Amino acid sequence: MQQQTVRKSYSFEGKGLHTGKVAKVTVNPAPADYGIRFVRTDIDRDAAVEALAENVSSTARSTTITSADGVSVMTIEHLMSALTGMGIDNALIEINNIEVPILDGSAKPYIDAIWKDGIIGLDAQRKYLEIPEPVEICDEKTGSVVRIEPADSPSYDVKIDFNSKVLGVQTAHWDPSLTYAEEIGVCRTFVFFHEIEYLFKNNLIKGGDVDNAIVIVEHPVSDEQLEHMSRLFNVPALKICDNGYLNNLRLRFENECARHKLLDLMGDLRLVGGFLNVRVSAVKSGHSINTRAARAVRELLLNRK
């Protein structure tokens, strides 16, 4: 298969989920073998950082990459997932602030803009990355596992378990027979109601609002708490649906939360530096273990050269 890039430049603007800072991000065409690179145009035209596992500098509720000379970009995972799911090998991404905007909490805005006619082939073959042996990363404290095994074609399986009576245990699957844009890319991030106030107090989710996250109400909530949340987000009165979710959004799938974790996993694993031909199985995955797995695969591949 040929390598691919975007046909033209596509721009997106909005608040960063964690910083609350407004940023404009532009996905530009790039030549063969360029990979994915971010440029902080607010710093300098040469302030670049490659989207590679060794550049991961933080995984505190999102994935941040930082170059050797200190150029950082936060919350790259949804955009990286979109580029992966749409089959884009090469792109120059310009951003005029530190954090990629959260938009609707999924990869859908990127897909809607680029998918129809925005991808072109390049005069170079895609080099699929294949591993000679399985890679498994475990976290005994959290029970998280990411296992990556050799395969003839890519597939992803995710299982989430937050010990939640609302979510239950959810699973999600993707392989090339399923349309990423319809099955995975549209799935939004999620948060538990009881976490929101803590996150605000700790200077996280400054850009969060009820349009870009599924809110799970695990514990009993008073009318006063709901009123406070409504004031916090400056929206009309919020209510709890019968299924235990806040009424701010309607679920796109019963297992949308598991599908979003798969979206994140695909974005984080793209930090291996290309498209993997592997079978990925993940339990209780998150940005930390995802990027550790990407780093382990990348080291395995580099050591083979």
Under DSSP, is residue 288 helix (H, G, I), strand (E, B) or coil?
helix
Query: Is 219 known to be catalytic?
Result: no
Q: Of 40-44, 105-109, 210-214, 223-227, which gets the smallest average pLDDT?
A: 210-214
| pLDDT given for residue 271 in this prediction | 98
Q: What are the beta bridge partners of residue 24?
A: 13
Tokens 């409504």, residue located: 230
Q: What is the pLDDT of residues 8-26, one digit of tens each?
A: 999 999 999 888 899 999 9
For residue 135, give the nearest of 155, 125, 150, 123 by alpha carbon.
150
Confidence band for 213, pLDDT divided at 50, 70 and 90:
confident
Q: Which residue has the tokens 């200190």?
A: 70
Segment 28-41 shows an average pLDDT of: 98
SS3 content of the chain, % helix, strand, coil (to 5): 25, 30, 45
2-127 homologous superfamily: lpxc deacetylase, domain 1 (3.30.230.20)
State the alpha helices, DSSP H only, in 174-218.
180-183, 193-201
Q: Give the pLDDT score at 204.
A: 61
The catalytically annotated residue of 18, 78, 260, 287 is 287
Confidence at residue 230, expressed as pLDDT on a 0 to 100 scale: 82
Average pLDDT score over residue span 178-195: 94
Residues 122, 243: Cα–Cα separation, whole Å? 47
224-230 own/partner pairs: CB under 8 Å, 24+ apart: 229/193, 229/196
Q: Where are the domains of the chain?
A: 2-127
Residue among 96, 252, 99, 142 nearest 189 (CA):
252
Is the pTM for the entire model greater than 0.85? yes
- pLDDT at residue number 205: 61
